[in-house]
Structure 1
Amino acid sequence: MVPEEWLVLAPCREVSLRARGWLSGLEAPGRVLFWSAPEELEAPPVPAERVSFGIAVWRDWLSRSDARLRVLILLPAPECVAFAREAAAAGARVIYDKPAPILFAGPERAFHPDDERALVRVAQDLVAADRATTRLLADTSERLRLIHDFAQAEDAGAHLPSVLEKASLAIVVDAAKDRSRLEETIQELREARGLAAYDIAVVIDPEEGAGFAELLGRETAGEISLVRDPRGPSMSGLAMAVRASSTEVLVFLRSGQLPTGTDWLEAGLRAIYGDRQIGALGLAEGAEEAGETERLSRMSFNGMLIRRRVFLRVGGLEERLGDNASAADFSMRLLTSGYRLEQLDAPAILPGVPGGGLSAKEMGELKRRWPEARGLLARVLEAWVG
């Protein structure tokens, strides 16, 4: 299993004691780093490492770990808000627990409402501890997972696992080249959510074209977010969509690829969180007659599930290459970083989208990029001949 690491930002004694309920309610939380003012708390609420205050220290933790990272914030201080933005962009799960106002009695505990609003926008999970927080959530029009507000550690143990085992997801739908089935794709994705909460980002070309008013209406209603690729049909649109999201898991689809049911992501999520060596997982139906190397090497962005931290760790996608060349280059970076490429036994999306092949110019560029891994590159390129 991919281990978990927690960074708990709880800088005053009362809030630190509330964090005791959080962490003691978690089963096998993994490694925990706990920041609180040393004079306020003699020892963390669970076996943990104490870290000093400061974004530089927290960034070091964020950059070094390959675990599933959770940041629990119990005070909307400006430093915490700034770090929350960076953590979410790096694929960590940000949880904001707003304690009751009584915990912040006295001027030294005051915080600015704008800081809290910013934190609500960044967090993927929110503990709505009072009516003011609930109203704030309504005012921001943000979509967050609401966590039951518990008073005792036993309550935390009952409610947290069911909430936190669900990963936050962004579905990136590439419709820059073809919008003919986009409306159907969006509707199917919305109906197939089931218990999974995911955002839908749609990449389109810069021209408004047919159906744009309907797409704009869906965006206004909060159903999707639109990403208009200024370079036209290219990989830059996918990169823009990734940068605009802040979820733990990314799913790439091409318009026209439809989910097979409301549980279409469950097997894939179990796989990538059950084996940290899986770099990317193919969701579409693979080649029936291809051997393992060819089938698994042809990993494209037409049906891929990947942890954001892995995606960022290997450098993301190459925007200057074409679709297939960028996918082949991305496969090489995953494989040379020690990850595996795998495919679901049962496809999660149908139908598969023909991927085409690589031109001689693209193959030449890839060979220039990977002179030290020619054998591996040859096996990857073999899957893209056509």
Structure 2
Amino acid sequence: MKYQSRKQAMILLADGTIFYGKAVANKEGSAFGEVCFNTGMTGYQEIFTDPSYYGQLMVTTNAHIGNYGVKNDEEESDSVKIAGLICKNFSYVPSRVGKSDSLENFLNENNILAISDVDTRALVSYIRDHGAMNAVISTEVDKIDELKKQLNETPDMVGLELASKVSTKEAYFYGDENATYKIAALDLGIKKNILRNLAKRDCYIKVFPYNATFKEMEAFNPDGYFLSNGPGDPEPLECAITLAKEIIEKDLPLFGICLGHQIIALSEGVSTFKMYNGHRGINHPVINHLTGKGEITSQNHGFAINRKETESNANFEITHSHLNDNEVMGIRHTKKNCFSVQYHPEAGPGPNDATYLFDQFIENIKQQKLETV
């Protein structure tokens, strides 16, 4: 096995609890962030490159990570976004049909610290019982007091604005410029597979920075507006909240996913809150109240919208709920052309039960065009 004598490493949680492991590839250093876990059995490359995971230490619950390597067409952004990786068994040699590289090289190229040989079952059980919290992974196992001090100075996720860290700096285009529909998308941490799904439905997309104004987006003369997923607390994103409010007031077709869903809720007076652990995995069961059908969904969020406030808000109808904890998974505006979901219909990784939501968005645009003719 490669790296027989690997450096000792540890996970130090904010409450002082320590779990030990080994450094992957003898890479040294420390990485800080909020520790969370994902229950997906596959799709680790998509998870690691998902901008919504920016600033988080990822615990993978699958026992083997890296066994099928990485491929360029399976990235959800242009770089790894997690702060660090914690796993049980790390596979240095990939086994896969077709051209692929090792996960070790991929993480090294992105300067990501990873530790393995961790009792991830015990760690995940601890996080489930005590909630998501800040942590540090480190090879500096003899500097616990110093690391504790740095950890205490690490900002909590509540109140933390992170969309600006992952959003595009300049607007750009995606898709065929001769497509039937034009979509103005606000990049709060947008995944590539969202853009692929829109382009597949004959859309030409202009992607705008997180702080774009309605005037800037309107100048593109779009047929519909989209608010993307992304990391951090939604409440500090005042520009995005104002933008959503303006789009809704003008009754323009609007679709939001994940963080975009939360922004839409905030724009209509529904508050958000930090979840105890969040939902992160590719097998979350959701009930569609409009059809009565169940959906298996891909999810990645640590914040959610307030259910009681949503139920009492005359502007919203709850369209989807989580079957495990009854959290609000989808809403639609009762008076305007607007809807959103908390989960990821584009998957990447995950099932495709909910891709119909992109079709619903296009149908809303078509209906709007008919009414304005």
Report if TM-score (shorter chain) is over 0.5.
Answer: no
TM-score, normalized by length of structure 1?
0.29
Q: Which has the higher helix share?
A: 1
Find the structure with the greater CA-based Rg: 1
Q: Which has the higher strand share?
A: 2
TM-score, normalized by length of structure 2?
0.30
